[in-house]
Amino acid sequence: MQKLIIQGGRPLHGEIIISGAKNAALPVLCAALLTKETLKINNIPALQDITTMLSLLEQMGTSITDHRSSEVSLTAANLTHLVAPYEMVKTMRAAILVLGPLLARAGEANISLPGGCAIGLRPVDQHIKGLQAMGAEIHIRHGYIHAVAKKLQGARIVFDIVTVTGTENLMMAATLADGTTILENAAREPEIIDLANCLIAMGANIQGAGTDVITIEGVQTLYGTEHTVMPDRIETGTFLVAATAAGGEIHLKNTDSRLLDAVLDKLTEAGACIDANENWIHLKMDSKPKSVNLRTAPYPAFPTDMQAQFMSLNCVAEGTAIITETIFENRLMHVQELKRMNANIEVEGNAAIVYGIPQLDGAHVMATDLRASASLVIAGLIAQGETIIDRIYHLDRGYENIEEKLSALGAQIRRIN
């Protein structure tokens, strides 16, 4: 199994390019199931989750051509196998995103029910409830969601809870339904706007994406198009936190500061000087960071996917911070690993109280999920001595060439088998 070895204590300096967003690319790939024509997608990140999604779509009968570094063309002319097997769904929950498109286009889908995962229970009841409201017959059999609908019908759906992939799944399903679908209490994440832009370019009629009410007028057919995936706001935020914690000056290209308001506010509060526009972000940090309190919540509030990284920053900041996780019930697993690096953190329910200390100690730690892995990388960068991170396959699911990008910024980081 591969590990990362980091020698801590070096500031970060230099320029890197941010990759396309994993959580925008995954639903956009699934949109290819909605048309017989070719969907060409640019700015696809080279990540394990993308490889898994492409294999899943290929198994269903999608032909994948022109798969070069960051581009791929998908043609789902004939869908032959309407199944997402357990082996794939268990490694990548986003496989649930094929449910809506398959049902809308082929009238049937058999998707393994995702179980709980490292960060929480993560049920998919809202996806199922929405599709049932659109007329689908859904039964859970042998651990699979078996869904059938001759033709989905437009419906008014009020989500009980704000769900990102739930909103994406139903938005895709509604594009080919009969009549109008109104999604209320919809998620407002930028990835939903990116997916909506792709679907609109394919011929869909969608209004309100990016607000909490999305209206979709079903159309008969969708067509091929070309789409460029938005920049990864979480990768961007992770590098910005790393430089705020380690000190230095970094310039991030191919990213957009407007996607990160809540994160940039917190970094400024921590003491970073930030200059930015819609194409790049420049960050300079030449003092010890100050502690920042934060509370995760759906977009545009502070993202749960940045909580773990800010935990590492707070470990070495001046003062005490309270971090409250409100989205997932078990997303504080990194605390135990950070404590192995001498961090002073107390957990009470869904909150962590982080008492800043002068320095972390390098240690052998284990990644438990994707963003927890990123927090350990940041901790390794600022710790005294050597940090070894195990189970970095989590990291490879969501960060393209992380050790190359960090090395380009002057970090001492290498991968070993």
Residues that are catalytic: 117
* String of DSSP letters for 87-103: HHHTT-GGGGGGHHHHH
Q: How far apart are the first and last CA of the chain?
A: 6
CA distance linking residue 262 with residue 257, whole number of Å: 10
In this structure, which amino acid lies at residue 303? P
Binding residues for ligand EPU, total number by CB under 6 A:
25
- Quick check: 77 binds ligand EPU (CB under 6 A)? no
Q: Is 14 left (phi over 0), alpha (psi -120 to 50) or beta?
A: left
In this structure, which amino acid lies at residue 381? L
- Quick check: 26 binds ligand EPU (CB under 6 A)? yes
Q: Are 157 and 182 in contact (CB under 8 A)?
A: yes
Q: Is 411 left (phi over 0), alpha (psi -120 to 50) or beta?
A: beta
C-beta of 45 vs 166, nearer to ligand EPU:
166
The stretch near ligand EPU (CB under 6 A) out of 140-148, 156-164, 216-224, 286-294 is 156-164
Q: Which of residues 253-272 bind ligand EPU (CB under 6 A)?
A: none
Of the candidates 131, 183, 294, 327, which one interacts with ligand EPU according to CB under 6 A?
A: 327
- Quick check: 213 binds ligand EPU (CB under 6 A)? no
Q: Which of residues 183-202 bind ligand EPU (CB under 6 A)?
A: 187
Of the candidates 8, 166, 362, 380, which one interacts with ligand EPU according to CB under 6 A?
A: 166
Give yes or no for a cis peptide into 300 (omega within 30° of 0): yes
C-beta of 94 vs 272, nearer to ligand EPU:
94
- Quick check: 94 binds ligand EPU (CB under 6 A)? yes
In this structure, what token pair is assigned to residue 132?
Answer: 């049932």
What is the CB neighbour count within 10 angstroms for residue 8? 23
Binding-residue pattern over the window 288 to 307 for ligand EPU, x denoting contact by CB under 6 A:
----------------xx--
Phi, psi of 63 (to 5 degrees): -95, 135
C-beta of 285 vs 311, nearer to ligand EPU:
311
What is the smallest separation between the CB atom of 259 and ligand EPU, expressed in angstroms? 13
The site for ligand EPU (CB under 6 A) is made up of 23, 26, 93-94, 120-127, 161, 163-166, 187, 304-305, 327-328, 370-371, 398
